[in-house]
Amino acid sequence: MTPVSPALSKRHLVLIGMMGSGKSSVGRKLALQSGAPLVDTDELIERHCRRSIVDLFKELGEARFRLLERDLLCQAAEDETPTILSTGGGAVVTPENREALWRTGYVVYLQASPEVLWRRLKKNSTRPLLQQPDPRGVLTRLVQEREPLYLDADMVINVDQLTIAQAAQAIWTALPGTLRGGLNKKTPTP
């Protein structure tokens, strides 16, 4: 019988950061380059509930959304396949998520200033937390509140001046070799 090899502990590449920081786009680029599967936790939730994030916030409220997010995110983190995990901006506020992500993944914070985030998000209606009076103030407050949690990441990359491709490249080259090896599913060209 072939022994089941234990899962590598830090096997995933986890992208954290505020909405608008580019986690999904950078994740897609990294997945394309490496051949590793991409799991976007917002998409997991939408598929599981067959509802958009906006509708879920309306129907459930934020507290119940966070419980759903926790259950699906923690399940995804326990998968043994090395994966690129792109997380929702608020995932880090839930202690169980932080425990699972930091234990199973190499965590990369895509840091962006409130000004850059606002420029990218001001015309966007898919972020329920910004559908309220003074969305710019809310965004700035969320950055301030979450920054200490984000800064606990294994790698911090400021993306204010970077394109998606530049951010993906910078992350990939700075990853520890063992992690890159685990994620790289592309057959090397002879």
Nearest distance, CB of residue 88 and ligand S3P, angstroms: 3
Q: Is 82 in the site for ligand S3P (CB under 6 A)?
A: no
Residue 112 CA, distance from chain mean position: 14
CB 97 within 8 A of CB 44: no
Number of residues counted as binding ligand S3P (CB under 6 A): 11
Q: Is 128 in the site for ligand S3P (CB under 6 A)?
A: yes
Single-letter code of the amino acid located at 76: A
Nearest distance, CB of residue 24 and ligand S3P, angstroms: 6
Token pair recorded at residue 189: 């060209």
73: helix, coil or strand? Answer: helix
Q: Is 42 in the site for ligand S3P (CB under 6 A)?
A: yes
Q: Which stretch in 31-39, 88-96, 100-108, 177-185 sits in contact with ligand S3P by CB under 6 A?
A: 88-96
Whole-angstrom distance, CA of residue 162 vs CA of residue 167: 6
Candidate residues 22, 27, 82, 89; the one interacting with ligand S3P per rule CB under 6 A: 89
Q: Is 27 in the site for ligand S3P (CB under 6 A)?
A: no
Paired with 105 in beta bridges are 12
Q: Which stretch in 2-10, 96-104, 112-120, 125-133 sits in contact with ligand S3P by CB under 6 A?
A: 125-133
Closer residue to ligand S3P (CB): 8 or 138: 138
DSSP E strand stretches across 6-142: 12-16, 38-40, 84-86, 105-111
Burial of residue 15, with CB atoms counted within 10 A of its CB: 0-12 exposed, 13-18 middle, 19 or more buried? buried
Positions in the binding site for ligand S3P (CB under 6 A): 19, 23-24, 42, 53, 88-90, 127-129
